[in-house]
Amino acid sequence: MFGCRHLGHLLIVVGLTAVPVIMAMIFRMSTLYSHELYPIVSSGTVCGMQKFDQSNPWSGDPDERFSGPVIAVIGAGMAGLTAARLLTERGCRVTVFDKGRRPGGRMSSRWYPDLAFDHGCQYFTAHDRRFQLHVEAWEEAGVVSRWAGRRAACAHGVFSLVEDEVVRYVGVPEMQSVAAHLARGLDVQTDCQVVSLDASASQWALKTTGTAPGRFDAVLISVPAPQAAALLPASISFGDRVRGLEMQACWAIMAAYDRDLELGFDAAHISGNPLVWICRNDRKPGRVGDECWTLHASPDWSRNHLEEDRDEVTGKLLAAFHALAGLSRVQPVFVRAHRWRYASPAHALEDGYLWDPAARIGVCGDWCHSPRVEGAFLSGWMLAEQVLAHLV
């Protein structure tokens, strides 16, 4: 088996015409948010599509600006923030609830002294014109940047460099920056978990762990399907579809090294191994610090070791990384593990969103559309449009 140190010799010796094609196909495969796991623009219409007006903070009397329905959004990931942003700009009074310390969901990052890791979503792409318009504006605002890292693919322990025409983006200086920018000016209640929903009279009553109970004209749920299912009342029309959706787990390892590993690439998709993705974070735009690698385990491996001791998982996945990379005498100076219990949908619903107009409740997320950042954005946008059509 060839290690990464032999990558240059491998490309010369192998010379197989089929390998680049096969490896390019492997590299397009994905796990957390398709490894894909928001900026200031002026309002206006481009090609018939409305862009966000993201001037912040809002000015004027909130009671005058927000004269529409009172809406709760549960979950401050890409889908929830997108929906909240569009609804707010159309005059709705929106409160976003999230149990995390910062908005972002799987578009999150971890910071330690001189170290930074995108341990969830690794990058994203933009194909739909609605999403492209916003990504272009975020890029102009310095919230995101194109990432042209050296990419490779690995099958059966053999690495090959991969080149394609896909434009990939990352948040700057961290992936979570995108969500933080979208959340500016919104009422986002962090460290606040919604524990129950109760429909009474003409409104929804929310019970949370961090704030007083609130009443809302409509509720939008943008958390992973199992968590959404736990909140949905049994009477909701689409409840069975949400309860039947399976989410895949992903163990993530964050490892830093005090020397250059000289692997010859910045990221690689891997098949036939406990690991499915490895990425050097400090080579992404806007990052600083030591050499930092994020390792993602495959869905099957993560499922089989989901409840295993964190230290044991760390040891096994580090060993897999070192074996692949040919690192027999190197150990990280820093290592942490994170378990994403709901990393990606096994199969997305592809409806875009689910909405019960009679009950005034809906769900959105990448699992409703497609397992990518773009899918989450479009899902939140589409659900918000339905709410506006029925309530405003």
| Contact of 71 with 218, CB cutoff 8 Å | yes
Give dist(CA 68, CA 90) in Å, integer.
8
Rg (CA), the chain: 22
Question: What residues contact 199, with CB distance under 8 A and at least 6 apart?
Answer: 205, 233, 359
Give dist(CA 205, CA 203) in Å, integer.
7
Mean pLDDT of the chain: 86
Give dist(CA 108, CA 97) in Å, integer.
16
Confidence of residue 49 (pLDDT cuts 50, 70, 90): very low
- Quick one: pLDDT at residue 214? 87
pLDDT at 64 over 90: no
What pTM was estimated for this model as a whole? 0.85
> Cα 213 to chain center, whole Å?
29
Confidence of residue 33 (pLDDT cuts 50, 70, 90): low
Neighbouring CB atoms inside 10 A of 389's CB total 10
Let me know the angle formed at the C-alpha of 298 by 143 and 150, rounded to the nearest 5 degrees. Answer: 45
- Cα 156 to Cα 56, 270, 276, distances in angstroms: 51, 8, 12
The dihedral sign for the CA sequence 157, 24, 168, 85: negative
- Quick one: pLDDT at residue 114? 84
- Quick one: pLDDT at residue 167? 97
pLDDT at 20 over 70: no
- Quick one: pLDDT at residue 36? 56
Q: What value does the mean pLDDT take over residues 225-239?
A: 96
The per-residue pLDDT for range 182-202, each reduced to its tens digit, is 999 999 999 999 999 999 878
Interhelix angle 78-89/373-391, rounded to 10 degrees, is: 30
Buried b (16+ CB within 10 A) or exposed e, 45-56: eeeeebbbebee
- Quick one: pLDDT at residue 211? 74
- Quick one: pLDDT at residue 389? 97
Residue entry with tokens 């792409």: 125
DSSP string, 149-204: --EEEEETTEEEEE------EEESSSTHHHHHHHHTTSEEE-S--EEEEEEETTEE
The per-residue pLDDT for range 202-214, each reduced to its tens digit, is 899 999 997 777 8
Higher confidence at residue 96 or residue 57? 96
